[in-house]
Copies of this chain bind each other. A is one copy, B any other.
Amino acid sequence: MTGFYGEHSKVLVSVDCIVFGFEGDKLKLLIGRRQMDPGRGEWSLYGGFVGAKECLEDAANRVLLELTGLKKLYMRQVGAFGAIDRDPGERVISVAYCALINVNDYDDSLRIQHGLEWVNLEDMPKLYSDHNEMVGKAIGMLRRRINTEPLSFNLLPDLFTLTQLQKVYEAVLGEEIDKRNFRKRIKQIDFIEKTELIDKLTSKRGAALYRFNKKVYSQDPTFKL
């Protein structure tokens, strides 16, 4: 080790992934029973150590890929957590990342293979170490950003109905929204496109399917729901 800063102490750095999904009308969180000591058997976020030649985002993406089989997820840093004894095993500073996935894209066998479960956010149990705090911060971030960043589409299939979209907003914000007002606002957003397709699964009458148009969005990436 020939570093410039040799005299200073080094610490383990990990990433922990807060993976949100959406099903029915509930926000879900992907957690598992911890499979190593200390804390074996406790509910926990899924994480991993940051490699010597790996940047934080790469580490988070690696862990997410391992976990979901999915690349290019929506992912945002939640923050660094560095209390001395946050990990009972040894000092570990962890950087939390929040990812949003569409549950339909998710290969359930991977979930089972890793011993993971989707839990409703409102039923979240006590998690290992400071993981509850990480989840809390992540939700706060989603709430603050959902009206100014196109988050919500990451939780839905490519084609979605307005009712589904509204349910996502309601689940993230934790409050009911008036249907007519919601749809009025959506109509003004030009990167949410109505398609000719109709979804007949969730209702007898059928509902128009919409799509997030990334190109239109990137031309004017400002909106306010």
Contacts and interface: CB of A to CB of B under 8 A. Distances in A.
Contact of A80 (B4, B12, B80, B92): B80
A11 B93 CA distance: 10
A56 interface: yes
A10 interface: yes
B79 A80 contact: yes
Interface string A75-116: 001011111100001111101000000000000000000000
Contact of A5 (B12, B77, B144): B12
Nearest to A52: B9
Interface string A55-81: 111000000000000000000010111
Nearest to A78: B79
B10 A12 contact: yes
A190 interface: no
A122 interface: no
B93 A56 contact: yes
B53 A84 contact: yes
B55 A83 contact: yes
Contacts of A54: 84
A136 interface: no
A8 B53 CA distance: 12
Contact of A10 (B11, B89, B144): B11
A53 B8 CA distance: 12
A81 B49 CA distance: 16
Given A3-B90, A5-B90, A89-B3, A52 B11 contact: yes
A37 interface: yes
Interface in A178-225: none
A13 B91 contact: no
A82 B50 CA distance: 10
A56 B82 contact: yes
A38 interface: yes
